[in-house]
Amino acid sequence: MKYQYNFKEIFNNARLFSTEYVFTKLVLRAIFFSFVVSILILIFSTPKFSISATLLENKDQQESSDLEGVFRSISQKDNEMFQKFRANVFSTTTSKELWKLGWGSRLFDAGNLYEDDSKIPKSHGSFNRFSAFLLGYELNPYYSHLDLKEFILRKVQIRQAPRASDFTVSMLTDGNREFAKELIYSIIITADSAAKQKALAVSRARIKSAMDELQNPKNSLVNNGLSSILNSEYFKVASLSNDLPYYVYFVDMPSASEYPISPNAAAVFVADLIIFFILGVFFSYYSKNKEELW
């Protein structure tokens, strides 16, 4: 097929198309209808606010004073601290710690009806109950720290933009924003502390074994090596034994967005306008060219 680029004809055709199919009552009605639908969507949507904290990896902790530490820090991956922190946020250890801090009852027993955190009844869907009955296994009747872990996995997002050095820990809430801010803060601090405790335990174990080895006399080279390990591990213990975050810095404390992130009202209006406008044009076109289109 060869095209003839007759611009005058194209322009005239476009004008005809507009008057015949675009500027019609049907399209006008469709546009009006789009506003109604948008308003209905927004009325029935629950506004969700974003609660987010911005963090920076604590890169200082990747280095140590001696040459070995410098080489180690060079060979480490750029975002190792971020990866360790991320893994800890979604770990069972963190959810267990959060459960101990009372987050289980705050999340799953909002009315504070049960005194014992481990006795908050958990409801299971009929399908889960049916499959448990068929397969013959027991369903946990109470909430546990594993449900809290599941909650964190589903709700909390940790995102680092490509090539960025900072990252955000965020969640959406349609409820109490102060509560969500507190939760995000607790998750960050607890995950960091859990990671810190693990690092502390490793350092203390290394100190103990290095001390034991130093009790037995060896040649000066080995003794120097052991002393160097001891120094570096004591340095690590000193940097870990405080209340400050170890893996991450807070750049921005958890805060709530002023406006809801979802639904985006403007986007909903524009999307509906486009859909209904084009649907209107389509119907106009189809009704006038039915025979030609098939």
Q: Is 163 one of the binding residues for another protein (CB under 8 A)?
A: yes
Least gap, CB of 189 to another protein (angstroms): 26
Interacting residue with another protein among 2, 77, 154, 290 (CB under 8 A): 2
What does the alpha-carbon distance between residue 195 and residue 246 come to, in Å, rounded to a whole number?
A: 8
| Contacting range for another protein; rule: CB under 8 A; set: 95-103, 146-154, 175-183, 260-268 | 260-268
User: Which residues lie below 8 Å from residue 3, measured CB to CB, with a gap of 6+?
Assistant: none
Which C-beta is closer to another protein: that of 74 or that of 161? 161
| Contacting range for another protein; rule: CB under 8 A; set: 106-114, 218-226, 227-235, 265-273 | 265-273
Least gap, CB of 153 to another protein (angstroms): 14
Least gap, CB of 169 to another protein (angstroms): 15
Q: Is 153 one of the binding residues for another protein (CB under 8 A)?
A: no
Least gap, CB of 87 to another protein (angstroms): 17
Which C-beta is closer to another protein: that of 17 or that of 133? 17
Name which of 246, 251, 250 is nearest 61 in CA terms: 246
Which C-beta is closer to another protein: that of 230 or that of 273? 273
Least gap, CB of 244 to another protein (angstroms): 25
Interacting residue with another protein among 6, 11, 12, 13 (CB under 8 A): 13
Size of the residue set binding another protein (CB under 8 A):
36
CB under 8 A, 24+ apart: contacts of 258-264: 259/49, 260/47, 260/48, 260/49, 261/48, 261/49, 261/50, 261/172, 262/45, 262/47, 262/48, 262/172, 263/41, 263/42, 263/45, 263/47, 263/48
Interacting residue with another protein among 40, 164, 222, 244 (CB under 8 A): 164
Q: Is 36 one of the binding residues for another protein (CB under 8 A)?
A: no
What does the alpha-carbon distance between residue 80 and residue 86 come to, in Å, rounded to a whole number?
A: 10
What does the alpha-carbon distance between residue 130 and residue 72 come to, in Å, rounded to a whole number?
A: 54
Q: Is 50 one of the binding residues for another protein (CB under 8 A)?
A: yes
Is residue 182 classed exposed, middle or buried when 0-12, 13-18 and 19+ CB atoms within 10 A define those classes?
middle
Is residue 53 classed exposed, middle or buried when 0-12, 13-18 and 19+ CB atoms within 10 A define those classes?
buried
Residue pointed to by tokens 């974003």: 50
Angle at the Cα of 230 (from 225 to 236), degrees rounded to 5?
130
Least gap, CB of 154 to another protein (angstroms): 11
Name which of 258, 51, 265, 264 is nearest 172 in CA terms: 51
Q: Is 3 one of the binding residues for another protein (CB under 8 A)?
A: yes
What does the alpha-carbon distance between residue 195 and residue 192 come to, in Å, rounded to a whole number?
A: 5
User: Which residues lie below 8 Å from residue 131, measured CB to CB, with a gap of 6+?
Assistant: none
What does the alpha-carbon distance between residue 50 and residue 56 come to, in Å, rounded to a whole number?
A: 19
Least gap, CB of 34 to another protein (angstroms): 10
- Name which of residues 183 to 242 contact another protein (CB under 8 A): none
Q: Is 74 one of the binding residues for another protein (CB under 8 A)?
A: no
| Contacting range for another protein; rule: CB under 8 A; set: 54-62, 69-77, 116-124, 267-275 | 267-275
Q: Which residues bind another protein (CB under 8 A)?
A: 1-3, 10, 13, 17, 41, 45, 50, 161-166, 261-264, 266-268, 270-272, 274-275, 277-279, 281-282, 285, 292-294
